[in-house]
Every structure is written in structure tokens, then in C-alpha cells.
Structure 1
Amino acid sequence: MRRRLFGSVRSRATLGATLVVAVALLAAGTAVLLSLRSNLVGQAGTQAERSAREVAADLAAGTAYEQLSLDDDDRPVQIVDAAGRLVAAGEQLERISGTGTDAVRPQAPGGGGPAEGDGDDDDDDDDSDDRSLEPGEIGRDTTFHDGSATIEGESADYRFAEVHVEVPGKGALTVYAGAPLSAEQSAVNTALTVMLIGLPLLLGVVAGVTWLVTGRALRPVAGIRGEMAAITASEDLARRVPVPDTHDEVARLARTTNETLAALETSVERQRRFVADASHELRSPIASLRTQLEVAAAHPELLDLDGAVADTVRLQHLAADLLLLARLDAGEGPAGTRVDLAALAGEEAAGRTGVTVEATGAVEVAGSRGQLGRVLANLLDNAQRHARTAVTVAVRRDGDRAVVAVADDGDGVPQADRERIFERFVRLDAARSRDDGGAGLGLAIARDVAVRHGGTLTVRDAPTGGALFELRLPLP
């Protein structure tokens, strides 16, 4: 079940989008929380520093401890001397931590050194310059600490500021003043609560929208898949998949699929016609040969040996043609050997009556000598079959192409039939006997071989009035 669920493109897209948004929201939320906390802690530190410097200013002005305002705004304040003794503090202060001393009541002179429980220093500010202050001077540096305090029974976390001041007659004093962190904690907690509630809801919305959008986008794909399944089941290659009215990849996929189906339908139909025509062509010589053999079996004196040999040779040639076409249809490529078309044309024309070859020199191409020889033989057979007196073969170069032109002085090929004659099992003269006209595969084989060699084979009118077949192949 799990494999089926996550094997879906729709499910993977939804899961991926949700995970990406979740990671982005977590990163953004964390950054927001850290920034919010930093800003609020900074504001608390500013307030604490302001309070500490106000008290330090009063001390520098000579204000007595008893006259200092240390209980305003419920903010804890401590004043510590150079020996670490608490010399003044707010009356409402009941407990404190995170400062220079945890004492909350002033100590008598000589009452001991610093108390236990010093707070941790958040900053690394160097206050060495404040140790050599002039009388009445307040230190420039401020050190911050995090701690807690209890005022009138209420405990809270505070941000403490530490400021040094040199007081005439009292020596070096340190003022600790705190500002509450309750606003920071409340804001951070509120933001965190909103994120914890809103994040799942937002992820749910993202997942839902992604699921709906991908489902709508992939709906045509489901239609294509269903139609392809139906075509496979029915074996009806005439059917086509639906093409969505869009201009996206799915529409292009549907059009490409239909083009593939059309090509497959054409190929299958061509194969069916080929099999039907081949069966028809084979039936005649086989039936003739069987009849001759049966007659010879019953009446040996009536055996037509020449006819039986002719039918056997015709069967052999037809089988060879069919085998070559099958190899060409299977994609058999030509060999990469060098072939001299002028010499090959001379070999194929040798022994043929009325055939002349015109060539100024060697014209080499890369290909299969056997297949190219078959092309020339088929063209010469066709030309001799239709020529009145003469057939001319001209071999030449034309730019980057080798050209072999086979012309006859017969009746030529009508304009409307100049492509049809290259189809398999096509004969323009239906009344012509099969023995004289062949099976109608020679020109089809010739064009297929030419195409496999990267060339072309066309027909047009010859200067002598007959047909001119022109084979063009690329030079190596």
C-alpha cells in the first residue's frame, strides 16, 4: 500500500512540495523567533543600561545612598563597592541572581568580600578602562547579565546592566540595574504558539492545493494511459489518444503519442500488405511447379524440365528479395567499405545487350558492395525491360554527391506514377505477365538501399524520351 501511494507522481509531488514548504517555514520561523528575541532582549538591555546610568549619574553628583531612587518602576538595583560589598539596594528587593552579589541588604563596612552566586557574563566587553576613572566619572562600557529577581513576592527574569562610576569620597562603585524580560518571553511564546498552530494548517493547505493542482494537471495523462490500455487490449491502431486543449508538455506528449500510433499503424498495415502480396506472389510459381511435378510423376515423358527450373529460379530470386527487404526493415545498416561505382556499374553491365557505361574515372562511396550492386542490377533489369533499343549508365560526381544515372529509350514513367513505382509489389502494367514483369520488388529494394546509404533514388524523363533513374549517394 505504501509503495502504491508513493509510486504516484501526484503523491510524490504533493509530498515534495509540502516538505519544501515545511523546511522553508521552519527556517523562516526560527529566524523570526531569534530576531524577535534578540530585539526584545536588546530593548530590555537598553532600559536596564538607562536605569543604571541614571543611578550612576546621581552617585557621581554626590547623592547619598538614602536619597537615591532605587525602587522606581519595580526594577531591581544594586550598588556594590570595590570590595564587592552591597552598599545600597531597593527596599522591595527580596532575592536576586545574575549580578555581582546575591545580597539584597546593604552590608556594613568591613563586612566581607563579594558574595557567592555571581551571574554569568553575556558579553565580553573589556572594562579595564573603567578601573582608572576620575572622581565623578562614569564608565563608558556596559556589561550585561541575565538573571532573576524577586520584588514584593513576584519573581521574574531580568536583563541586568553593569556600569562603573568613580564617586568622590566613596571610591569605585558598580551599579547593577535590571529590566524585566517578561515582554520578550511573552512575545516569543505568543509567536511560537501561533507558529505551532499555523504551520500545520498552512502545510495542510499547501498539500491540498498541490494535490488538486497536480491531479488536474495529470488528468489528461490518465486519459492517455487509459486510451493506450484500450488500444493495447483491442489491437486497434486506428484509435488515437485525446489531446488536451493546452500548450504544455502533456499536450505535446499526446500529439507525439498519436504520431507514434500513426507511424505504427502505417508500419503494421505495410507489413500486412507485404505478407499478403508475398503470399500471393509465392503462390503462383509454387502452384506451377507443383503442377509440373505432378504431371511428371504421372507422365514422365511430359516433364517440362526448363519450366520447372525457371519456376525454381524465380522462387529463389523472390525469396532473396523478401529476405533483403526483411533485413532492410529490421534496420540493417550498410558496411563502411569503399565501393567504386564506376567499376561496379561496369561489372553489372557486362554481358547485357544494348547497355553502355559512361564514366570518366573512379567514383567511390562508402557502403555495402553487395547491396549497391543489387541496386544497379535492379535498375538495369528495369531499364532493359522497358527500353526499345539501348540503355545508358552514366557515373559522375556532382558536388559532394556521387550520381549514377540509368536511362532508357522506352515509353518513360507517367508523372502520376513516379512515386508509386517505388512501392512494393507495384506493377504499372497489370496485364503484363509475372514472368516478364517480375514481382514488383526491384525498385522498392533499390530505393530502400539508397535511403539506408544516406542517398536518394528518383525518376524523371530521359533525354531520349524514356525513363531516367538517378541514384545519388554522399561521397565519403
Structure 2
Amino acid sequence: LRPVEGIRREMAAITASEDLARRVPEPGSRDEIAALARTTNETLTVLEASVERQRRFVADASHELRSPIASLRTQLEVAEAHPELLDLPGAVADTVRLQVLAADLLLLARLDAGEKPGSATVELGALVREEVSQRTGDRIAVSVEVPQGCAFEVNGSRGQLSRVIGNLLDNAQRHAEGSVAVSVAADGRGVRVEVRDDGAGVPEDERERIFERFVRLDDARSRDDGGAGLGLAIARDVASRHGGTLTVDRVAEGGAAFRLWLPRSA
């Protein structure tokens, strides 16, 4: 049992030091004790990566929150000393940006905590039409392609799926030159929602990175538009938790095509 005591002693040291980079000794034997040591080290590796992601998330969130809060405070302090210089539209814009960022962070926290998407039946065609009809402030009109007389029903959270479609349309509006289109169609045993734009598209080597949190390929423009690089990360996370996928490709005429696939309801 000497190897077991070595594993126990190292685990106690890791607990005391909170140093997840340490690993327990793995005996050279090929028995159950060696398997226990390997499994313990694999668990420590996963925990270390999880803690690192959490630290990076907190650091990024703090950085993103600092900018609108500082800007809003500056505007209010100037207005207090010189009321005639109050930039009311700017203060409202910063407040809205802060509100959106806080809502995104709260949703990500709920998703990370394992919140279940629910089992309500959602008709994606109707959901897409409703989402587009509410977007009266878009700079580019969105064309909708949904076949008549077809039911595209999936199971999940209506609010979260609406958020996914809204995030994809926001992204398209940010990068499109003059055209944004969304379509709904059957795809095998599921339903595909595709959002297309005629912008510059996404470079092939960046098509996975854009779904990471706080990633912006065009940092300056995204920051000016109030984006924090969370919309696509939220969209993919929600799609995954609904048993679906979210990918991006390049359309033949140029631009990006984001394809959301969800399994049909039973």
C-alpha cells in the first residue's frame, strides 16, 4: 500500500497549497493502483484547465466592464460640474452597453452552472419571423426565407433560442455591406437556421476561434459598436446544450454563413 500512501500524501499537499499544477506519483506497475494514479492526474489536469478558464473569464469580464463604467462616470462628473456639457445620448449608450454586457455575463454564468434548456416546443420558423419583426432599428433590412405550411419544431428554451438568433443577426448587421438574410429549412433529422451576410467573411483559420469568449477579429469596430465578443460564444453554447451545432462557412458570393442546426422535437 506504499503507492497509495504516496498518492494520498501528494493529494493532501495539493489541497493545502491549492497548486493544481502538481501531480501524484504514478507507480510503474500495471495494476489498479497505477490506474488510480493516472485517473487522479487526469482529473487534476481537467480541474487545472477549468480553474484557468474561470480566472481568464473573470479577468476578461473585469476588463470589459471597466471601460463603459469609466466612460459613464466621466460623463456624469463632467455634467455635475458643467450641466450644459452633458452628453445624454452618450451616457444612455454607455448604460445600454453596460446592461447588455451584464446580461451576457449572467447568461454565461447560468450556462456554466449547468442550467437546463427546458423541454418546451418551439417553432423556429415563427420564432425567426418574430425576432426579425422586432428589429426596427437595423441599418440593413433582413430578408426572411421560411417555407409556408411547414412546421419546424424543436424542444428547448424559447428565450435562449431567440437569443441565439438575435446574436447571429447582430453579428451579420455588424459586418454586412448591404445584405442580410435568414432562412429556415429541414435538414435530415433536424432544422437548420442559416444567417448570411455579404461582408468580408471569416478567414478559414479563424472559424473556430470566433466562438471563444471575448474574441473579436475586428477589435476596434466591435468595441465601437458595443460588442464584447460574447454573442457567438453564447450562441454556440446554447446550441450545444440543445443538442445542436453552430458552424460558420463562406457563401459562394462572399460573406459569412452561420448555420444553426437543432434536432427536431420527438
TM-score (norm 2): 0.93
Q: Which of 126, 145, 152 pairs up with 1:358?
A: 145
TM superposition shift of 1:402: 1.4
TM superposition shift of 1:437: 5.3
SS of the residue aligned with 1:237? coil
Q: Where do 1:210-229 residues align within 5 Å?
A: 218-229=1-12
Q: Which residue of 2 aligns with 1:87?
A: none
Structure 2 CA distance, aligned partners of 1:395 and 1:283? 39
TM superposition shift of 1:441: 0.4
Structure 2 CA distance, aligned partners of 1:357 and 1:251? 59
Contact 2:216 2:222 (8 Å CA) reproduced: no
Q: Which of 201, 204, 220 pairs up with 1:431?
A: 220
Q: Which residue of 2 aligns with 1:262?
A: 45
Contact 1:408 1:464 (8 Å CA) reproduced: no
CA 1:397/1:404 → structure 2, altered by over 3 Å: closer, same or farther? Answer: same
Q: Where do 1:334-413 residues align within 5 Å?
A: 334-350=117-133, 351=136, 352=138, 353-360=140-147, 361-413=150-202
Contact 2:119 2:157 (8 Å CA) reproduced: yes
SS of the residue aligned with 1:379? helix
Structure 1 CA distance, aligned partners of 2:220 and 2:198? 22
Q: Where do 1:38-437 residues align within 5 Å?
A: 218-350=1-133, 351=136, 352=138, 353-360=140-147, 361-432=150-221, 434-436=223-225
Amino acid at match of 2:251: A
RMSD: 1.3
**Does 1 or 2 have the higher relative contact order (CA < 8 Å, sep 6+)?**
2
Instruction: Give the share of equivalent positions with the same residue, in percent.
Output: 74
Count of equivalent residues: 259
Structure 2 CA distance, aligned partners of 1:472 and 1:221? 48
TM superposition shift of 1:433: 5.3
Listed one character per residue, the Cα deviations across residues 147-189 of structure 1 (whole Å, up to 9, x for unaligned) are: xxxxxxxxxxxxxxxxxxxxxxxxxxxxxxxxxxxxxxxxxxx
Q: Which residue of 2 aligns with 1:458?
A: 247
SS of the residue aligned with 2:131? helix
SS of the residue aligned with 2:214? coil
Amino acid at match of 2:98: L
TM superposition shift of 1:364: 0.6
Q: Which has the larger radius of gyration?
A: 1
Which of structure 1's runs of 4+ aligned residues deviate more than 3 A? none
SS of the residue aligned with 1:426? coil
Amino acid at match of 1:451: S
Amino acid at match of 1:305: L
SS of the residue aligned with 1:472? strand
**Where does the alignment leave 5 or more consecutive residues of structure 2 unmatched?**
none
TM superposition shift of 1:248: 2.5
TM superposition shift of 1:415: 1.3
TM-score (norm 1): 0.53
Contact 2:222 2:228 (8 Å CA) reproduced: no
Structure 1 CA distance, aligned partners of 2:47 and 2:62? 22
Structure 2 CA distance, aligned partners of 1:265 and 1:416? 27
Listed one character per residue, the Cα deviations across residues 398-451 of structure 1 (whole Å, up to 9, x for unaligned) are: 121111111111111111111111111111123335132500100010011111
Structure 1 CA distance, aligned partners of 2:37 and 2:249? 40
CA 1:367/1:296 → structure 2, altered by over 3 Å: closer, same or farther? Answer: same
